[in-house]
Amino acid sequence: MVAPLKVGLAGLGTVGGSVARLLQKQESNAPESNVLATRCGRPVQLVAVSAKAESEMHALGIPGLRFVPSPTALAADPEIDAFVELMGGEGDPAKAAITAALSAGKPVVTANKALIARHGVALARLAETSGVALNFEAAVGGAIPVVKTLREGFAGNSFDRVYGILNGTCNYILSRMESEKLSFADCLREAQKLGYAEADPTFDVEGFDTAQKIAILASLAFGVQVDPDAVYVEGISSITPEDLEAAAELGYRIKLLGVAVRTEQGIEQRVHPTMVRLDSPLAQVMGVTNAVTVDPAGFSPITLVGPGAGGAATASAVVADLADIARGLKAKPFGRPTEALIGSRRAPMQRHEGGYYIRLAAVDRPGTFATIAKHLADEHISLESIVQRRRNGEPHGGSSPDSAQTPAPVILVTYATTEDAVRKALSEIKNRGVIAGNPQVIRIEKN
C-alpha cells in the first residue's frame, strides 16, 4: 500500500476547521469509497495541527491529532509531508511558517491572498529552489478553479484580459441596493448583520480585497510580478440607487470588477465600479457569488462562476491543492519561473480608454447645457446618449414651484474616450459653476 500524504495544518478558523473535517470524512470512509485516496492513488491524512489554543483542536472531535503550539515548528516537523497555512495575514506567523516549510523541502498549500499578493514572488522563488509546490488555488475565487485554469488549463495560450467579480460582500451590497432600492449604508448594515461584511468593511467595500486578487490573476495570466500596489483602486461607497436605476434603464448593471488587461502601454490592473451589459455573463451574477472571465487570445471568453468564500467552498480548493501534491504534480507557482516574471507598475489610468457613464447635477439656468457640451467637445468626447431625469419629488407631468432652484440630474453616456479627457472636461465644467456637487463617473466595460 502506498504511504499516505501526512499533512500538518496551521489555523483552525472557519476554513481550517472545514479542511480538517473534509479530510477526516474522507479518511473515515471505507477504502473503496474514499474518493480522495482513489483519485490520488494514496490517502491524504491530517496528522498534526497548530492553533491559538489546543482547545480548538479538541473541539473538532477528530481522534489522533497531534497539537503543535508553534506553526513554524509544525511547518518544519519531520513527521509531516505537506504544510497547509490557513492563519491569514501578509506577515508573520504565516510568512515565517511557509518559509520554514519550503526551506525544509515541504510543499505548501495556502488560502492566504494577502500573503501571496505581497510576498508571492519571493515565496515562489524559494519553492522553486527547494523543488516543491506552492499551491494557492483558494486564495482567489474560493471554489472557482481559476488559478489552475490560468496556470495549467491554458498553459499554451496568451491572454487579452482577465476580469471578474472577486468580492462577495460588494456584490451582495450592489445586488440588494438594486433589487430593493436601498442605500449603500442600509445594505452595508444588513451585510454586517448576516456576516457577509466585517465590522470594519473598508478592506472589502473600498476595493482592496479585490485588488489583491486581481494582482494574483494578472501575474498568472500575463507573467507580471504580483504587486497589489500596481493596481488602481476605487470602491463602491459612492454608488447610489439612482445610479443603479439609471444603469438598468440604459441596459447595464453595476458591478465592482477587478480587471487586468493587455494594453499598448503594458498590463493595466484596476478595480472600480463598472457598468456591464445586462446580457453579459457577469451581469447575471448576484448575491455573494463570484465570477471570473478569462479572455484568451484567439477565441471567445470563458466565464467561471461559483461561491467565492465560506468554509466549505474554500476547503474544497485547499483539498484540491493537496490532491495535486499527493499525485506528485508540481507546477511553477505562477505558471512560469520567477526569473521570467516582468516588473509591474501602477496602472496609468489617465490613458485608460473606454465608455463612461457620467451623472451630473446640472444647474437649471440658460447656457448650462451649452457649457457642458462645449467642454466635452473640447476634449473630443462624443456622447452616445443624454438623459435628463426628474428631480426628486417632482410630480409627473409638471414642475414644482421650486424646481428652478433645484439642480436637475443629467446622465451622459460617452463613446470610447480616455480617462484623462473625461477628468479634464468635468473639471472645466465644474469650474464654470453649471453643476452642483461632484460628478459621478462609472466606467463601462466592453463585453
Residues across the chain: 447
Pairing of strands 353-362, 82-85: unpaired
Residues 180 and 217 in one domain: yes
pTM over 0.85: yes
Q: Among 283, 305, 327, give the residue marking a domain's end.
A: 305
Q: What is the CATH number of the domain that holds 77?
A: 3.40.50.720
In this predicted structure, what is the pLDDT of residue 28?
A: 75
Residues 266 and 213 in one domain: yes
In this predicted structure, what is the pLDDT of residue 396?
A: 39
Residues 113 and 151 in one domain: no
Cα–Cα distance measured from residue 413 to residue 91, given in angstroms and rounded to the nearest whole number: 44
Residues 291 and 438 in one domain: no
Looking at 136-183, list the stretches that DSSP marks H as alpha helix, in order from N- to C-terminal side. 146-148, 168-180
Cα–Cα distance measured from residue 392 to residue 112, given in angstroms and rounded to the nearest whole number: 46
Residues 202 and 291 in one domain: yes
**Which ranges of the chain have pLDDT less than 70?**
1, 30-33, 347-348, 350, 389-405, 447
Nearest Cα to 447, choosing from 284, 302, 298, 280? 280
331 occurs within a structural domain: no
Residue 36 CB-density burial (10 A; 0-12 exposed, 13-18 middle, 19+ buried): buried
What's at 64, amino acid-wise?
G
Residues 24 and 64 in one domain: yes
Task: Quote the domain boundaries for residue 115.
Answer: 5-139
Pairing of strands 44-50, 66-67: parallel
Q: What is the DSSP string of 334-349?
A: TSS-GGGPBP-----G
Bridge partners for 256 per DSSP: 273
345 occurs within a structural domain: no
313 occurs within a structural domain: no
In this predicted structure, what is the pLDDT of residue 376?
A: 95
Q: What is the CATH number of the domain that holds 417?
A: 3.30.70.260
Catalytic residues: 213
